[in-house]
């Protein structure tokens, strides 16, 4: 029996070996290397001189983290973190509530042509995100963009809005694009969850004389909670590091006075990319990526504790 069991285990390891090698090479080793680099002064200027030489790179301990949290970059990092949190919260919860509104409308049995609207509303999700964002870059153009032209024809504005060149308008544009790309996914999830709610619940509420708002707050929202919590947590983590919206639309701009690596629309993910690839400070970029991971992990754990996800798993 032992020989048979050992033979089965060896056979299982043979099948798992390609996957384990891929995970090790593509995930584990880069993560370990990033952690190592974060404790050095490795950069584009000293990388060719080798490790440990006089002009080369070496281990400097927590110096990079001190630069970010308490040193010269402190005044840039914490405003960047605040904007990242604001952007993430508005993108996540805004997409969810827009998707929920559309899901409730399309789930109405009296809407006979709902399948047409479902097909149209899912288009932003079906298109590649990068193509969508680059297209919006033209739509938001202050001189010939269709958005400004439409707003002027509707007499909502008199002068063109400088969407991509002024701080507030650029940040608003980034959030609007995130909502546009994100709401179809939320809509589809909410529609599936709503369809799973038994009609008898609403029929009983009608017999009790409940209003539409009462049915929404007492039946629909509680029924959506179990589906919504994991969805919102995962989407929050995704938006926190949503590189595309911030970088492809505005390149992180407009530029911010006093900031050496981040513009007004940059979030932590895009700022880390700029620090590493554009400025060549790989050690500082690695340290920022570790802080980014710690922040996302901490917020996810807090959200899971609040929503009771761990208790549900243990039960």
Average pLDDT over every residue of 244-267: 87
The CATH homologous superfamily for domain 83-280 is: MetI-like (1.10.3720.10)
How far apart CA 76 and CA 72 sit, in angstroms, is 8
User: Residue 243 above 50 pLDDT?
Assistant: yes
| pLDDT tens profile 107-159 | 887 887 888 888 888 888 888 888 899 999 999 998 889 999 999 999 999 89
Q: What is the pLDDT of residue 2?
A: 64
User: Residue 179 above 90 pLDDT?
Assistant: yes
Among residues 302, 297, 291, 233, the alpha carbon closest in space to that of 267 is found at 291
User: Residue 314 above 50 pLDDT?
Assistant: no
pLDDT, averaged across the chain: 88
pTM: 0.88
Number of neighbours of residue 18 by Cβ within 10 angstroms: 9
Contact indicator for 140, 249 with CB cutoff of 8 Å: yes
Cα-based angle 238, 244, 250 (whole degrees, multiple of 5): 135
Tokens of 221: 């929202």
Q: What is the pLDDT of residue 311?
A: 63
Tokens of 95: 């997409």
SS3 at position 137 = helix
Tokens of 115: 């399948």
Tokens of 121: 């509303």
Q: In which band, very low, low, confident or very high, does the pLDDT at 309 lie, cut at 50, 70 and 90?
A: low
Q: In which band, very low, low, confident or very high, does the pLDDT at 88 lie, cut at 50, 70 and 90?
A: very high
Q: What is the pLDDT of residue 35?
A: 94
What whole-number percentage of the chain has pLDDT above 90?
44
Among residues 310, 284, 305, 309, the alpha carbon closest in space to that of 77 is found at 284
Q: Tokens 């584990």, residue?
A: 28
Domain ranges of the chain: 1-36, 83-280
Q: In which band, very low, low, confident or very high, does the pLDDT at 174 lie, cut at 50, 70 and 90?
A: very high
* Alpha helix segments (H runs only) across the chain: 2-23, 29-38, 63-69, 74-106, 114-121, 123-126, 129-139, 146-153, 167-195, 199-207, 212-215, 221-240, 243-250, 268-273, 282-307, 309-314
Q: What is the pLDDT of residue 261?
A: 81
User: Residue 99 above 50 pLDDT?
Assistant: yes
Euclidean distance between the first and the last CA atom of the chain, given in angstroms as a whole number: 35
Contact indicator for 122, 188 with CB cutoff of 8 Å: yes
CA distances from 40 to 65, 71, 73, 173, 281 (A): 11, 16, 17, 37, 11
User: Residue 265 above 50 pLDDT?
Assistant: yes
262: left (phi over 0), alpha (psi -120 to 50) or beta: beta
Q: What is the pLDDT of residue 139?
A: 93
């Amino acid at each position: 029996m032992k020989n048979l069991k050992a033979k089965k285990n060896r056979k299982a390891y043979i099948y798992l070996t390609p996957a384990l090698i891929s995970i090790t090479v593509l995930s584990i080793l880069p993560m370990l290397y990033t952690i190592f680099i974060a404790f050095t002064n490795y950069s584009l200027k000293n990388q060719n001189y080798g490790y440990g030489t006089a002009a080369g790179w070496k281990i400097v301990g927590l110096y990079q983290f001190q630069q970010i949290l308490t040193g010269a970059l402190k005044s840039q990092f914490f405003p960047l973190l605040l904007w990242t949190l604001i952007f993430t919260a508005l993108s996540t919860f805004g997409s969810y509530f827009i998707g929920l509104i559309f899901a409730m409308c399309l789930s109405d049995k009296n809407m006979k042509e709902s399948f047409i609207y479902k097909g149209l509303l899912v288009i932003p999700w079906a298109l590649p995100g990068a193509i969508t964002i680059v297209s919006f870059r033209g739509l938001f153009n202050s001189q010939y963009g269709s958005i400004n032209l439409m707003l002027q024809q509707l007499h909502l504005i008199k002068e063109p809005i400088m969407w991509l060149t002024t701080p507030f308008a650029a940040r608003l544009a980034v959030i609007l694009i995130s909502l546009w790309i994100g709401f179809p996914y939320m809509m589809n999830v909410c529609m599936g969850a709503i369809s799973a709610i038994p009609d008898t619940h609403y029929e009983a509420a009608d017999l009790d004389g409940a209003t539409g708002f009462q049915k929404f707050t007492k039946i629909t929202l509680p029924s959506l909670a179990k589906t919504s919590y994991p969805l919102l947590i995962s989407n929050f983590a995704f938006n926190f590091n949503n590189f595309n919206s911030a970088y492809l639309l505005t390149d992180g701009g407009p530029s911010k006075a006093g900031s050496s690596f981040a513009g007004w629309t940059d979030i932590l993910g895009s700022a880390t990319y700029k620090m590493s690839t554009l400025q060549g400070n790989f050690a500082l970029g690695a340290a920022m990526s570790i802080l980014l991971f710690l922040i996302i992990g901490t917020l996810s754990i807090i959200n899971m504790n609040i929503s009771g996800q761990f208790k549900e798993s243990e039960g």
